Structure 1
Amino acid sequence: MTDTTLAADAPLYIVLNAGSGASEKEERRAAIEEVLTAAGRRYHLHLVEDGSELDDAAIAHAGQACANGGILVAAGGDGTINAVARQAVAHGCPFGALPQGTFNYFGRTHGISEELSDAVHALLTATVQPVQIGSVNGRIFLVNASIGLYPELLEEREQDKAQFGRSRVVAFLSALKTILSPHRRLRLTLEAEDRTMHLRTHTLFVGNNRLQMEQVGLTELAPEVAEGELAAVAPKPAGRLGMLGLVLQGALGRLADTGDVVAFGFRRMTVRTPFYGRRRVKAAVDGEVLTLTTPLHFEALDGRLRLLVPAARNLVKD
């Protein structure tokens, strides 16, 4: 089912993350304004200079979009898109994405161009399509959520970037350092519909993005993960070199070949952690590290986000 009810002149309420540099910020602003001004489309562009102001900006603009029959739009990486999409879901307004991150899994999955001008042009003729999102303890995610090693990796990476600068080399070396450092294995009980599983692992990954699964080579391992489901992925316990090997196989798109990964699809799952009184755990949700209370309740929310999808993409799907 596709909901395409959208006024042709609906105003756009755009929340733009400033990014890493002044020139980049101005280029993005200018690209958006040039396309929309030339098209004669009404819009309100809010530039977020400080990441701590992102949630407040998203809430304010979601309220305005709903009150004026408009569309809430996020311009930035997956974390920015998640923060703004969260308010679109909460307020019930249509949502558009202008992906500007490193991997842009969400945008690529839905056929949204990484070229900013092209993505803005596509917004002008896009139709609204309800798409699936994930939820963990009520917090939505568009791409993935995880506990264990990955949140640790993200925290270490941000610390190293603050000290040595933001670059892919720094990010790679930081990840390598985290993987080769001692870290605790998780003892988990997974209760997903008709199955209960006890396992030990360094990290539990729950994905809502088939493209990401394909890139690390997991679609053959979990072919039953269908529309309407999330994918649970957990590597079996391994030493430091074993973990390094898993990362390398994932980078080569051959993770399923290792035989050292558990993966399956589900709609609802509860994750219990016998931490003997410790009920709070760090989780990475679309790249943002949060502290959540266990047990963790994951759920696939089908059609909950009213996403603007490029017209050409929608014709292919229909």
Structure 2
Amino acid sequence: MIPVSVDPNAPLFIVLNVGSGNHDTAKTRAIIEEILTHAGREHHISMVEDPARLHDLARQTVEKAKPRGGVVVAAGGDGTLNAVAQATLPSGCPFGVLPQGTFNYFSRTHGIPSDTAEAARLLLTARAHPVQVGLVNDRVFLVNASMGLYPQLLENREAYKQQFGRSRLVAFWAGFISLLREHRQLRLRIEYRGETRVVRTPTLFVGNNRLQLEQIGIPQAYLLEQGQLAAISLRPVGTLAMLWLLLRGAFGQLGEADSVSHFAFKHISVTPALPYGSRRVKIATDGEIEWLQAPIEFRVAPEFLFLLKPEPDLSVSGQS
């Protein structure tokens, strides 16, 4: 699909998460307002003071934007972008991003500047490009979704961030400590292309972000641009082997490890062996933890998210 031009007078409806990253929220808001006001662009900023209200506020923002032909903008980290994209996807509204997080995988993949002022100026001129969205059951994910060890690692990482602050070093250290602890194995029945396979693994990770997959060395990363997702699972290994895999991922060599399985797909159904009477599974989507009903369906969303982003540099990519 080709990019869609956005009405230069379309109002911008911005959801700004106070708790994202290390940014000074008041300063961030002032930068956004100065640039948009100077450009004469109508805009409305909704501040997320309570994280528990993020999804409701995102939904209310989309409800305001849609009848006016407005653009919905998420200002925050990947978790904030996820919540606002969840509300925006079915509406068809253009979607803008003002990155404020620690890793910002989604915005970096699509060439959106990390500088707030530059990202705000981009909102004024960018066209809306269709980008792929992943679904786990009915939940959106822009970067990744996972079950097992990875959601536990994210919970531990958040606890460390609360204590030591938000940084990539803290995130890496939290992951290292998590891997030192005992982790249970999942028994998963995966239905894929009409076949069923049973695997034992500490985690199942599904990626929808080319940059992240390339950084850890997964060869299917390029297939995301062909309408697929990438699944990664680890064979049962000991703690030392798990730490070695962590290092391989840090050096972009995870996909070459014998104990790592990976494949591309459009849809898989995953049924974990659960304790008697239990039907819920802990899932992480773009760094946010939630519980979903089994079976767990991972698939490519049938609709695109129309993202305001820079035009591709064809002189560099050599692609049209």
> 1:107 Cα shift?
0.6
Which residues of structure 1 form unaligned runs of 5+?
Answer: none
> 1:21 Cα shift?
8.7
2:273 equivalent in structure 1: 274
In structure 2, relative to structure 1, the CA distance for the partners of 1:17 and 1:269 (3 Å cut) is same
SS of match in other structure, 1:232? strand
1:196 equivalent in structure 2: 196
In structure 2, relative to structure 1, the CA distance for the partners of 1:288 and 1:242 (3 Å cut) is same
Q: Deviations along 1:186-240, whole A, 9 cap, x unmatched?
A: 1112112244322111100001111111000112x67666520000011111100
In structure 2, relative to structure 1, the CA distance for the partners of 1:298 and 1:21 (3 Å cut) is closer
Preserved contact between residue 102 and residue 166 of structure 2 (Cα < 8 Å)? no
SS of match in other structure, 2:158? helix
2:241 equivalent in structure 1: 242
The alignment status of 1:182 with 2:182, answered yes or no, reads yes
> 1:157 Cα shift?
2.2
2:32 equivalent in structure 1: 32
Equivalent residue letter for 1:250: G
SS of match in other structure, 2:205? strand
SS of match in other structure, 2:103? coil
Q: Deviations along 1:135-179, whole A, 9 cap, x unmatched?
A: 011101000000000111111222333345445444333322211
5 Å-filtered alignment, 1:303-314, equals 303-311=303-311
Equivalent residue letter for 2:272: T
Query: 1-side partners of 2:162 and 2:63: how far apart?
Result: 34
Preserved contact between residue 77 and residue 101 of structure 1 (Cα < 8 Å)? yes
SS of match in other structure, 1:172? helix
Query: 2-side partners of 1:59 and 1:202: how far apart?
Result: 35
2:68 equivalent in structure 1: 68
SS of match in other structure, 1:308? strand
1:259 equivalent in structure 2: 258
1:145 equivalent in structure 2: 145
SS of match in other structure, 2:4? coil
Query: 2-side partners of 1:211 and 1:22: how far apart?
Result: 22
Query: 1-side partners of 2:167 and 2:3: how far apart?
Result: 41
Query: 1-side partners of 2:157 and 2:4: how far apart?
Result: 41
> 1:293 Cα shift?
1.2
In structure 2, relative to structure 1, the CA distance for the partners of 1:47 and 1:262 (3 Å cut) is same
SS of match in other structure, 1:283? strand
> 1:37 Cα shift?
1.1
In structure 2, relative to structure 1, the CA distance for the partners of 1:23 and 1:312 (3 Å cut) is closer
Equivalent residue letter for 2:256: D
Query: 2-side partners of 1:273 and 1:23: how far apart?
Result: 39
In structure 2, relative to structure 1, the CA distance for the partners of 1:170 and 1:208 (3 Å cut) is closer
1:294 equivalent in structure 2: 294
Preserved contact between residue 125 and residue 311 of structure 1 (Cα < 8 Å)? no
Query: 2-side partners of 1:309 and 1:23: how far apart?
Result: 22
Query: 2-side partners of 1:13 and 1:225: how far apart?
Result: 29
Deviates more, 1:277-286 or 1:308-317: 308-317
The alignment status of 1:84 with 2:84, answered yes or no, reads yes
RMSD of Structure 2 on Structure 1 (CA): 2.2
Per the normalisation by structure 2, the TM-score is 0.92
Count of equivalent residues: 317
Preserved contact between residue 20 and residue 76 of structure 2 (Cα < 8 Å)? no
1:158 equivalent in structure 2: 158
The alignment status of 1:115 with 2:115, answered yes or no, reads yes
> 1:34 Cα shift?
1.4
Query: 2-side partners of 1:48 and 1:176: how far apart?
Result: 31
5 Å-filtered alignment, 1:226-241, equals 227-241=226-240
> 1:6 Cα shift?
2.4
Preserved contact between residue 144 and residue 286 of structure 1 (Cα < 8 Å)? yes
> 1:2 Cα shift?
1.8
SS of match in other structure, 1:130? strand
Q: Deviations along 1:120-139, whole A, 9 cap, x unmatched?
A: 11111111122110001110
Per the normalisation by structure 1, the TM-score is 0.93
Preserved contact between residue 131 and residue 302 of structure 1 (Cα < 8 Å)? no
Preserved contact between residue 191 and residue 197 of structure 1 (Cα < 8 Å)? yes
Aligned residues with identical type, % of pairs: 50
